[in-house]
Amino acid sequence: MNSSKKEFISEAEELLGEAEEHLLELQESAETGANPDTVNALFRSIHTLKGISGLFGLEGLKYLSHAIEEILDSLRLGNIEVSDDVIRFLFKNIDILRELLEKTEQGNDFDVTPYLEDIKVFGRKTSSRQKQESLSGVIDEAIISVLSNYEEQRLRANIKKKRAIFTINAVFSIEDFDKALAELTEKIKKQGELISILPTSENMPPDSIGFKLLFASDKNPDSLKSAIGIAPEQITGSKPEKATVRKPQPSLKSISTTVRVDIEKLDGILNTIGELTLTKGAIKRIEHELAGIYGHSELVFDMHRASRSLERRLSELQQQVLEIRMVPIGQIFSRLAQIVKRYSQEIGKPVNLTVFGEETELDKFIAEEIVDPLMHIVRNAMDHGIESPEERKRRGKPERGTIRVKAFQRGNNVIVEIEDDGRGIDMEMIRRKAVEKGIITAGKEIDDTELTGFIFRAGFSTKEKVTEVAGRGVGMDVVKNRISSIGGFVDVRTEKDIYTRFSLTIPITLAIIKSLLIRVGINTFALPLSSISETLIVDRDALQSIEGKKVYNLRGELLPVMPVSDFFEIGSQTRESGHHESRYIVVSGYEERRVGLLVDELIGGQEIVIKSLGGYFEGLKGVAGVTEINRHNVILVIDVETLTEEILLRHKGLVHV
Amino acid sequence: MKNILVVEDSESTRSMMRTIIEDLGEEYQVFEAGTGFEALKILPTEGFSLIITDINMPDINGIELINFVKTTPQYKDIPMIIVSTERSEEDKKRGLALGAEAYITKPFSPEDFQEKIRLVLSS
């Protein structure tokens, strides 16, 4: 098979995958009404498939996808309604397309006539419904013209369901309208579907703002008046008259402007940029040396200008490539949604998954790395966090559990939170287990934050034989390791019977990072700047040793400190009879995870490209990777997170951490 | 001084727009609104030279904001730029019909964005 055909197969598979995802979405939202965006996206996937099948002369695939596309077009325009039947039919046909695709892979084309016949019959059967009604004549043109496309679709859908459309006018002071409006919309939503809120200034007293709220409901005006407190005006009720429909123009532009690129090629470009960054460093060094020799001559000045320009362009180029690699995290969320849907049926616990911040972007590589940890956390939440419907009912919770997944950007990180409204983590059980395992002694005072931290330990499973197969804690160490391998960390908060929330803090991109170069003995290391909060010159009086462990008085608080040389068991500077002469402290982390690393020298900041140690050295403790600095000098990049753990462990009980 | 109101629910997009606008020069001052409601609250507090609005937002959407601005006597002369996506073609048309002066389609380059702002402000 030639390579372009291979590419066709992989793209076609991707399109079918997308189509299936959209179908799943449609199925989920069947009760609340289909989202027109989803229907449109589904239509486009199949439309694109038709297009590329035609390009490759695969007549069978082309005709079949064309027939399906027609069904989807009717769906999009509202001539066919989304129903279980339609969804099942579409799932079946996507399966058929996939089967045909497999045959194509083996090199056969085939006769699709019987399938086409089926689709035609189905189309005739279902689309005998009425045409989409025009809204003009039913709803005031002035209102329609200020609705967004989506709102208009919702309006249409409600009219189709024979619900009456109402408006309510309300006037509030400009100062605090949002609170009053929120109360009002809350009341309206209990009576039906709120379609649109239109602000208006017409005939308003100064410092006031008016709103026209458009909503649909099947209740009568009198009961609405008593429920909402304001008398609504009914603007429909009689059957809408038929007229021609304004047909939305489908945009197919994306087909011709998008290029699909293998992520490895982008990796290649980034690598080259990395090398160029090193060259840039060399040029800057030469520039300095030239300035030293020739002073500020014309030539040196030219050199300076050229290197400045190189620097700027290089960082632009780097930024552009990083942007190409960015994907919205929503891609992962939709995979999570599928898992939740399937798994919740499997284990018989109804669960709602709500997601926020799908548009948050992060590097494709990192996105792929966090999929498994996210799945793990979500499955864990469904297994152990969310109670059975019966138990939830007893506790006065809604029978459906809720898992909220939220992503947002903070500085150079993306925070992903996964929160379930289940029973929370049982602190007593963890305490018992920790005592059992000999991690803590019985009766010892330990706060909950530290206790929850135990679930990330390898083999720390709080198994309760009678009621559960496995407790929360199984495999959580794996989650933590995966996240920390990409330079992130995991935090967990919980409250008994209320919630458990995991927060993953993940760097947006891996590629090129700013670092601080430090020296310990004869070794140079790089520390990622993102994990450093400050650096200090050691004040001898403030550095103390307690039971052989060092603590530092940092503005009145005790900071646990460890020489980096201790961790790597390498020599530090030895001047006075083997005593450490480390002169600087690098402070990392915050609050209870704030620690200090003792180093001999701070060399300076540098942009580095982290490369994995690979093969034999993979997983070396405390090392995040290697990097090349000036003049072919290869140094280790310290995994600050692991060192932090080690310090906290060594200082346990000594300092209140 | 040119006061510009940016109405956009994505915080990152908003701050990106702020940076691009501020690069135009010191006389440009950016005010941010994360929702249509916030925009309604900020409007009376400053004299604005330009409003840039997204379409899809959680409370009231850009179309409704445009309608509000363009039908309110004290605001109707403030020029407006719609920030739309390829998928909101229909919405863009409605916004223009309601009186918005220009639109820019996401994704856009900083230069295009600045050019659009200059153009709208100079006409």
For residue range A334-355, what is the model confidence (pLDDT) as tens digits? Answer: 888 888 888 888 888 999 999 9
Closest CA of chain B from A484, distance in Å: 25
Closest CA of chain B from A44, distance in Å: 12
Q: Where are the alpha helices (DSSP H) in A295-354?
A: 298-325, 330-347
- Are A450 and A433 a contacting pair, CB within 8 Å? no
Q: How far apart are the first and last CA of chain B?
A: 17
Q: What is the mean pLDDT of residues A526-531?
A: 85
Give the start-end residues of each E strand in A510-600: 512-520, 523-528, 532-537, 543-546, 549-554, 557-563, 584-588, 595-599
Same domain, A387 and A503: yes
Distance CA B34, CA A173 (A): 20
Q: Which CATH number is A15's domain given? A: 1.20.120.160
Number of domains in chain A: 5
Establish if A254 belongs to a structural domain: no
Q: Where are the alpha helices (DSSP H) in A106-166?
A: 113-126, 141-144, 149-160
Same domain, A21 and A121: yes
Chain B interface includes A151 (CB < 8 A): yes
Same domain, A276 and A222: no
Q: What is the mean pLDDT of residues A125-153?
A: 69
**Which residue in B has a C-alpha nearest to residue A200's C-alpha?**
B68
Q: What is the mean pLDDT of residues A227-244?
A: 65
Same domain, A467 and A557: no
Same domain, A281 and A300: yes
Chain B interface includes A202 (CB < 8 A): yes
Q: How far apart are the first and last CA of chain A?
A: 62
Give the start-end residues of each E strand in A103-207: 164-173, 193-200
Give the start-end residues of each E strand in A228-385: 233-234, 326-328, 351-356, 361-363
Q: Which domain, by its residues, includes A70?
A: 3-126
Establish if A244 belongs to a structural domain: no
Give the three-class secondary structure for A168.
Answer: strand
Same domain, A465 and A404: yes
User: What ipTM score was computed for the predicted complex, to two decimals?
Assistant: 0.80
Instruction: Please report the number of interchain residue pairs, chain A to chain B, with beta-carbon separation below 8 angstroms.
Output: 74
- Confidence label for B108 from pLDDT (cuts 50, 70 and 90): confident
Establish if A253 belongs to a structural domain: no
Establish if A373 belongs to a structural domain: yes
Least CB–CB distance from A199: residue in B60, B89, B91: B60
For chain B, the C-alpha Rg in angstroms (whole number) is: 13
Q: Which residues of B touch A198 (CB under 8 A)?
A: 60, 64, 67-68
Q: Which residues of A touch B36 (CB under 8 A)?
A: 199
pLDDT of residue A614: 63
Distance CA A51, CA A58 (A): 10
Same domain, A546 and A489: no
**Which residue in A has a C-alpha nearest to residue B56's C-alpha?**
A148
Chain B interface includes A359 (CB < 8 A): yes
Per mean pLDDT, which range of A179-188, A213-222, A270-279, A542-551 is the poorest?
A: A270-279
Q: Which CATH number is A414's domain given? A: 3.30.565.10
Same domain, A559 and A467: no
pLDDT of residue A47: 79
Q: Which CATH number is A581's domain given? A: 2.40.50.180
**Which residue in B has a C-alpha nearest to residue A179's C-alpha?**
B37
Q: What is the mean pLDDT of residues A250-264?
A: 60
Q: What is the mean pLDDT of residues A651-657?
A: 63
> Tens digits of per-residue pLDDT, A364-411?
888 888 988 898 899 889 988 899 999 999 999 999 999 999 999 877
pLDDT of residue A190: 85
- Confidence label for A72 from pLDDT (cuts 50, 70 and 90): confident
Same domain, A152 and A296: no
**Which residue in B has a C-alpha nearest to residue A250's C-alpha?**
B87
Test mutation, B61, B69, B70, B75, chain A, max A CBs within 10 A: B61
- Higher-confidence position of A460 and A125: A125
Q: Which residues of B touch A207 (CB under 8 A)?
A: 44
Same domain, A101 and A145: no
Q: What angle is formed at CA A24 by the lines to CA A19 and CA A26, rounded to 5 degrees?
A: 95
- Stated pTM of the model: 0.42
- Higher-confidence position of A489 and A471: A489
Nearest one of A612, A590, A566 to A657, comparing CA atoms: A590
Same domain, A449 and A352: yes
Look up residue A499 and give its two tokens: 């919630």
Q: Which CATH number is A167's domain given? A: 3.30.70
CATH number for the domain formed by residue range(s) B2-122: 3.40.50.2300
